[in-house]
Amino acid sequence: MHVSNAPLFLSFPHDQSTGKTTRVEGQMPESLGKYDPSLRDICFIEGIGLCSNIFIFADGESISLVDTGSGTEPNAVGPQMERLGLEIEAVTRVVITHGHMDHIGGLPEICEHCSPEIFVHQNDADDLKSIGIKSVVYMEDGDDIRLGRRELRVIHSPGHTEGSVCLHDKEIILTGDTAFPGGYFGRTDLPSGDWRKLVDSLDKLSRLEVRVMLPGHGEPLLSEASSHLKLARKTVELVRY
């Protein structure tokens, strides 16, 4: 399998401790904007080990997160936000792409510091209940959710889990564990996983025109995300499990 034009993957050092922290004052000191100006509203915390990535959207007044990582050291949310000059207390909204612990484990820590709206698909809500998170907002396919300055459309994408979602606008797509750069896709052999549903979900994603992929694990992809989603749709037929 081959994708035309080599993708631009980012590579970040794990230790981003510069000793400098600043308060949120309408700017993101360590945003993806240093690679692409149109992404200056998005910060990226790369998950270490099996931990999920955390994507941070800020508009100067509020901070929204997509996924929270596992919540355990060295992936605790607060210290990592602090290294980016952001305060965990300022989080107003959290969107969960699906209920696996490596994506939701940081929620209790966040809820110790603030009371954000927490969006999850109803089919994965029990996973949040199991870690004591009961106050949630259900999101459904077709909903629009504001994250910072962006309005993102929810796509229900079951397959990896029954309540998996992706979010996109005309430029970016957050794929959780449904799809990854390089034509990869999430496993379906865990509870509520379903290969047939994953095929259908990747079919939906493969019809989107988006440039940037922000996956649940690994590095963001800053160009040609659509071709990678099309490749995932093709390769999923080859690996049934």
Nearer to Zn ion, 36 or 162 (CB): 162
Binding to Zn ion by CB under 5 A, coded x per residue (else -) over 95-114, reads: -----x--------------
The mark string for 26-65 relative to Zn ion (x by CB under 5 A, - otherwise) is ----------------------------------------
| CB nearer to Zn ion: pick between 83 and 100 | 100
Q: Spell 72-92 as b/e; 16+ CB within 10 A means b.
A: eeebbbbebbebbbbbbebbe
Q: Least CB distance from residue 100 to Zn ion, whole Å? A: 4
Nearer Cβ to Zn ion (198/225):
198
Helix locations, the chain, DSSP H: 77-83, 101-104, 107-113, 125-129, 195-206, 225-235
Pairing, β 117-120 against β 137-138: parallel
Q: Residue 121 interacts with Zn ion (CB under 5 A)? A: no
By CB under 5 A, what part of segment 175-194 binds Zn ion? 177
The tokens describing 218, both together, are 């690994």
Q: Which stretch binds Zn ion (CB under 5 A): 76-84, 104-112, 113-121, 172-180?
A: 172-180
Q: Are strands 184-185 and 179-180 parallel, antiparallel or unpaired?
A: antiparallel
Q: Distance between CA atoms of 133 and 108, rounded to whole angstroms?
A: 7
- Binding residues for Zn ion, rule: CB under 5 A, are 100, 177
